[in-house]
């Protein structure tokens, strides 16, 4: 098994990583009054951690360079907590990991333009998930869906790169 680069956002675990120095380098500076912000840190205790790492490896095996994997604001989409955000050499996106092998493909999306806003309605009939979710956005949204991966994409080039790699798998 090849060694995976350390791209998951994790809290710094060593004193030197936090900038506190070591005993060998002289007296340690006074630590900051506040701890570093780790709210975006994806930890092994997160429900989507294993899925996020596996998807990151899958991407790297197909030529993507994953720079960062972090917690995502799309966690909770349709009631599914397993999600992660990715920063890659081909763009940024977020993924929701549905439990069923075709769970993301079972989400139906409709969109209406009302008063200058895009009204998205998502529907599914999967055990343990919300049946309907409605969101308003100021601009059109981009999605790439494959199997259990529901991917939110923010630009056309990233969308195409993901579609290319997903259809080639």
- Nearest 5°: phi and psi at 33? -70, -25
Half-sphere exposure (CA, 13 Å, Cβ side) for 70?
15
Residue ranges per domain, the chain?
37-103+141-167
- Nearest 5°: phi and psi at 75? -60, 130
Pairing of strands 66-70, 142-146: unpaired
pTM of the entire structure?
0.77
Do 77 and 85 contact (CB within 8 A), yes or no?
no
In tens digits, what is the pLDDT along the chain, a chain of 169 residues? 333 344 444 333 333 332 333 444 455 565 566 655 556 778 898 899 999 999 999 999 999 999 999 999 999 999 999 999 999 999 999 999 999 999 999 999 999 999 999 999 999 999 999 999 999 999 999 999 999 999 999 999 999 999 999 998 5
Size (the chain), residues: 169
> In the numeric block, which tokens belong to residue 141?
């949204």
């Amino acid at each position: 098994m090849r060694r995976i680069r350390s791209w998951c956002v994790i809290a710094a675990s060593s004193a030197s990583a936090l900038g506190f120095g070591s005993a060998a380098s002289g007296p340690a500076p006074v630590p900051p009054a506040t701890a570093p912000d780790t709210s975006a840190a994806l930890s092994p205790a997160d429900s989507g951690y294993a899925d996020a790492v596996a998807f990151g490896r899958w991407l790297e095996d197909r030529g993507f360079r994953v720079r960062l994997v972090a917690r995502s604001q799309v966690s909770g989409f349709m009631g599914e907590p397993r999600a992660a955000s990715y920063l890659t050499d081909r763009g940024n996106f977020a993924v929701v990991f549905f439990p069923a092998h075709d769970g993301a493909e079972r989400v139906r999306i409709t969109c209406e333009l009302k008063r200058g806003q895009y009204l998205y309605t998502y529907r599914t009939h999967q055990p343990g998930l919300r049946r309907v979710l409605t969101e308003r956005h100021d601009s059109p949204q981009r999605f790439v869906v494959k199997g259990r991966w529901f991917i939110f994409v923010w630009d056309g080039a990233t969308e195409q790169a993901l579609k290319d790699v997903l259809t080639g798998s």
